[in-house]
Amino acid sequence: MGRIGSALAGARRAAPDAATRGAPGTASPLAEGDATARAALLGNPARTEGLPAGLPSQGPRGAAAIAAQLRRAITDGLYGYGDRLPPEREIAKTLNTSRTTVRSALKQLEDARLVARKVGSGTFVVHGTRQDERDIAEITSPLELIEVRLALEPRMVRLAIIHGTARDFDHLGEALAQVEQSNGDTEHFTRWDLAFHLALATATRNPLMVWVYRQVNHVRNHTQWSAMKDKVLTRERMDAYNQEHRALYEAVRARDVTRATDLILRHLDEARIDLLGADST
């Protein structure tokens, strides 16, 4: 299941909780409010990436459902500001729908000012540029980001184990399967690592935790880290991180709080040490 697929899963997951206001997985008013009206595209280097394979085939779906899936991938921060969405034909193929439906879904996102379409170059995300978000991303170093994650994620993992459902852990497993297929691709690794940790946040079932973690993702998408990651993320490190991801996933699945919190601490502390090493070279 892809980023887009996970986004849909989130929407599906929310359905039984529909009575619970602000349950994770529902489109929160905060996430909706993020949609900033920013028509002008900055000169970000566009990253293009196919939708990962493995989406369940669910038969033809309408433009609204496709738009909801894409919207969620964007508001979750899985596609950051300036990112180029995959081409229409690729989205259509991955989501098993027609190009006409995809075009209509993209039009809805454009009307909601989440994306802008540039003739000849594609569809770009123009969401997530609210001034305070940009400011915090610009003044937070990768090391400061890791320090915040160290403060946040051990507790997050604990809450994920206490409140997460089997379905939540399935989504965590799907993100794990994707990050494990990185094959040395730093871009793929970063996106799916981000989705893996976001799946943990979602499993806490705490709307504020999910919101806070989305902000972490927005900072992670920022160029300071983008510039850093090629230095830090060697093939060996990605493989080592993925072993930690799998061990963490298994501990969460087994609802072993002590082991899981210990593993997330080690995972982030290793990232911190790797960053310090990269900084001094």
List interacting residues with Zn ion (CB under 5 A): 193
| Distance in Å, CB of 149 to Zn ion, minimum | 9
Largest CA distance in the chain: 53
Q: How far is the CB of 77 from Zn ion (least distance, A)?
A: 15
State which residue, 137 or 233, has the beta carbon closest to Zn ion.
233
Cβ nearer to Zn ion, comparing 174 with 193: 193
Shortest separation between residue 196's beta carbon and Zn ion, angstroms: 6
Q: Smallest gap, in angstroms, from Cβ of residue 195 to Zn ion?
A: 10
C-beta closer to Zn ion: residue 84 or 188: 188
**Run of H or E including 13:** helix 3-14
CB of 54 to Zn ion, least distance (A): 20
Question: Dihedral of CA 176/182/187/190: which sign?
Answer: positive
> Between residues 134 and 246, which has the closer beta carbon with respect to Zn ion?
246
User: At 125, is the secondary structure helix, strand, or coil?
Assistant: strand
SS3 200: helix
Q: Which two tokens stand for residue 159?
A: 């809450």
- Closest among 138, 137, 272 to 217, alpha carbons compared: 137
- Residue 68 token pair: 């909801």
Of the two residues 34 and 193, which places its CB atom closer to Zn ion in the complex? 193
Name the residue nearer to Zn ion (CB basis): 124 or 192: 192
Q: Which is nearer to Zn ion, 88 or 193 (CB)?
A: 193
256 and 162 in contact (C-beta within 8 Å)?
Answer: no
What does the alpha-carbon distance between residue 11 and residue 247 come to, in Å, rounded to a whole number?
27
Considering the complex, state which of residue 95 and residue 264 has its C-beta at the smaller distance from Zn ion: 264
Least distance in angstroms from the C-beta of 267 to Zn ion: 6
Nearest residue to Zn ion on Cβ basis = 193
The full DSSP string for 53-122 is: S-PPP-----HHHHHHHHHHHHHTTSS-TTPBPPPHHHHHHHTT--HHHHHHHHHHHHHTTSEEEETTTE
Residues 6+ apart with CB under 8 A from 237: 274
Cα–Cα distance between 277 and 281 in angstroms, integer?
A: 7
In whole angstroms, give the CA distance from residue 281 to residue 278: 5
Amino acid at 69: Q
- Write down the least CB distance from residue 255 to Zn ion, Å: 20
Number of residues assigned to the chain: 281
What is the nearest approach in angstroms of Zn ion to the Cβ of residue 268? 8
